[in-house]
Amino acid sequence: MSNSFLSTSIEYLKGVGPKRAELMKKELGIFTFEHLLTHYPFRYIDRSKVHKIKEVNSAEVHIQLKGKITRISEAGEKRSKRLIAYLQDETGVMELIWFKGIKWVKPKLIVGKEYIVFGKPSQFNNSFNLVHPDFEEKTTADKPVANLQPVYSSTEKANALGLNSKGIEKLTKVLSPQLRGQIPETLSNSLIAELKLISRERAYREIHLPSNAEMLKKAIFRLKFEEFFFLQLRLLKQKVIQDQKLKGFVFETVGESFNTFYNTKLPFELTNAQKRVVKEIRNSMGSGKHMNRLLQGDVGSGKTLVGLLSMLIAKDNGYQSLLMAPTEILTIQHYQSISKYLEGTGVTISLLTGSSKTSERKIIHEQLLNGELDILIGTHALLEDIVQFKNLGLAIIDEQHRFGVKQRSKLWRKNTIPPHILVMTATPIPRTLAMTVYGDLDISVIDELPPGRKEITTIHKFDKDRLYVFKFMEKQIAEGRQVYVVYPLIEESEHLDFKDLMDGYESMARRFPLPKYRLSIVHGKMKAKDKEYEMQQFAKGFTHIMVATTVIEVGVNVPNASVMVIESANKFGLSQLHQLRGRVGRGSDKSYCILMTDYKLSQTAKTRISTMVRTNDGFEIAEEDLKLRGPGDILGTQQSGILDLKLGDLIKDNQLVVAARGMASELLKKDPNLELQENYLIRQHLAELIRRKPNWGRIS
């Protein structure tokens, strides 16, 4: 949408001027005509219906009333001061209340005059009132107005200069007639016809000044579709470019290492989901294109085994593999389990971490360069320049969100042709979010648990139930099980959290005294080797209870641990609670997760707790988490630029996201480089978007 009219500075719009323009830039991010045009209303007032006061029976919806102000009074002192106006119609009286801006509002209200009032009712002492309603004198309201009046977001400073919702509406009314012939089309005629879309120019006019509800609906659909379509097109185009530019090693053989292991060494039969994913990876690595794949699977779904089978395919084709994990503990765990699987197969494997001795490193470096070493498992230490391979063909990254883009890009430079990349995560990501954020990766999902994995029973207990919880822990320990007790760690209040943890540890030590019970403690302030020692004590079964902060969220695998007690569970996010719960239920015993809270719970906390109690399904939990927190929070701020949607909502509009991706995908199948004349406008607009965001979207 780049043209000189739309890039005109906002101060040149009639009614703005330099002073207001400065404020609009600072407060509202409106620099140009285009910015004003995309400062969309967040709701609309339906002016077509005026309610009677006696009809108001719900605090759910906004209503419009018409009546006379019969009395105005002020009550309370200083901060609790409020202005009350009494609005009367032929059916009754309603209080209009203001707690803020009293000095602005009071002079505008005159006893005996008629007003049109709009707001959301609230209930107090069995009667309804309107707090901070919009209002205007009936004389001005009697002029013909649109049935749907837009409402815009603003700020306190902007309001003070008349740039409240009404002020912004006035400016869009000034701009609207000037749009004729100034809004370039961005979609092809075939797409517009197929989806029965209104023109882009009409959509911009209707979203700000709707003719009626039907046209408003069409305008919103048109503009949302366009947002999602170009977002998906950018991602998929990135993928096309990667496929064209990056040739991958061709792993055409599935040979002896893979087949011997698959037929004689598999610890258990693969689930159908694992078989499907192995096939997807096999096809990808055999295609001649560079594989860039995200593997999602819930805690315990068997991602590591899929990763190992992929590395055996690399070995059968004469290539080396690496597996990189974010913590030393997790790395050692991977190394131990994979080494056990590979016993007697002749496949060589080594471990490289920050703690590896110089003498060990020297041997590893030599074996990597002469090709004796097939698989290297390690932490960030794998990224060091000194770590050079003879022919690295596959790089597997576990829990990729814990590695920065710069770190991951170092893996590409370990070979002239970049190795195939398999990114594994135990954080389930809802489909619409995954296809948007990881849209330039292929996605594989392991969506079933291996046989024998028992579902974890989750219960919610209050602080008053602590005796019950202690007795339950005693019973489990008496039966030979182990217990995790986890405390929250919120960085801003590390001192307070550390105190909570130490208090908790001391009360646990009193309740479960030596020599009958042995306790471990792990927290972020400990040295790495002390942490490692404590975790190993627990893993080997020497200690009964592990008191910890969330450092064990991605950590040691203890099949014998059957109880997870999470203190102040309301302080954790939903995905984090699910990750913590996944630390238990790894053996054959029945496992339990106990969520401890006090009685003061916000509505969001209640939803989180009840979701955890209701389901063990990671993807259902991820969907709920997305609804509660929104995509930006789930991905972390580093990803926020990807989701700068002005109108669309990945949660509410998920069907439209899927449809837009489908259409973008179809388009690129027919015309990968957008060279056809009918796609000229799409190509132009996409180029403009990429020009504005040059560093966008290189995810893995």
Comparing C-alpha atoms, which of 520, 571, 582, 580 is closest to residue 546?
Answer: 520
Q: Give the architecture-level CATH label for domain 269-446.
A: 3-Layer(aba) Sandwich (3.40)
Give the model's confidence band at 639: pLDDT under 50 very low, under 70 low, under 90 confident, else very high. Answer: very low
Report pLDDT digits (tens) over 498-556: 667 888 888 899 999 989 999 999 887 788 788 888 888 998 899 999 998 876 655 56
Count CB neighbours of 577 within 10 A: 26
Domains 48-144 and 269-446 alike in fold? no
Whether the Cβ atoms of residue 678 and residue 188 lie closer than 8 Å to each other: yes
Q: Which amino acid is at 681?
A: L
Q: What is the mean pLDDT of residues 390-408?
A: 73
Q: Which amino acid is at 413?
A: R
- HEC secondary structure over 400-419: HHHCCHHHHHHHHCCCCCCC
- Residue extents of the structural domains in the chain: 1-42+151-182, 48-144, 269-446, 457-615
d(CA 668, CA 665): 5
Comparing C-alpha atoms, which of 590, 321, 357, 246 is closest to residue 452?
Answer: 590
**CB proximity list for 626: less than 8 A, separation 6 or greater:** 430, 433, 634, 650, 651
Position with higher pLDDT, 697 vs 425? 425
Residue with tokens 């105190």: 499
Q: What is the mean pLDDT of residues 2-16?
A: 86
Tell whether domain 48-144 is in CATH 2.40.50.140: yes
What tokens does 401 get?
């969100």
Q: What is the dihedral of CA 162, 165, 169, 171, to 10 degrees?
A: 30
Give the model's confidence band at 637: pLDDT under 50 very low, under 70 low, under 90 confident, else very high. Answer: very low
Q: Which amino acid is at 454?
A: K
Query: How many CA atoms, within 13 angstroms, populate the side-chain half-sphere of residue 301?
Result: 26
Q: With 80 as the cut, is the pLDDT of residue 588 above it?
A: no
Give the model's confidence band at 401: pLDDT under 50 very low, under 70 low, under 90 confident, else very high. Answer: low
> What percentage of the chain reaches a pLDDT higher than 70?
89
Q: What is the mean pLDDT of residues 248-272?
A: 89
Q: What is the CATH number of domain 457-615?
A: 3.40.50.300
Comparing C-alpha atoms, which of 90, 108, 96 is closest to residue 51?
Answer: 90
Q: Which of 117-121, 137-141, 182-186 has the lowest mean pLDDT?
A: 137-141
Q: What is the dihedral of CA 276, 281, 286, 289, to 10 degrees?
A: 130
Q: What is the mean pLDDT of residues 473-486?
A: 95
DSSP assigned state of 269: P
* Contacts for 51-58: CB closer than 8 Å, 24+ residues apart: 52/89, 52/90, 52/91, 52/92, 53/87, 53/88, 53/89, 53/91, 53/92, 53/93, 53/94, 54/91, 54/92, 55/91, 56/94, 56/121, 56/128, 57/128, 58/121
Q: With 90 as the cut, is the pLDDT of residue 235 above it?
A: no
Please provide the average confidence, as pLDDT, over all residues in the chain. 85
Residues β-bridged to residue 88: 68, 93
Report pLDDT digits (tens) over 651-696: 778 889 889 999 999 999 999 889 999 999 999 999 888 887 644 3
Q: With 80 as the cut, is the pLDDT of residue 626 above it?
A: no
Q: With 80 as the cut, is the pLDDT of residue 373 above it?
A: yes
Whether the Cβ atoms of residue 93 and residue 53 lie closer than 8 Å to each other: yes
- Supply the pLDDT for residue 296: 87
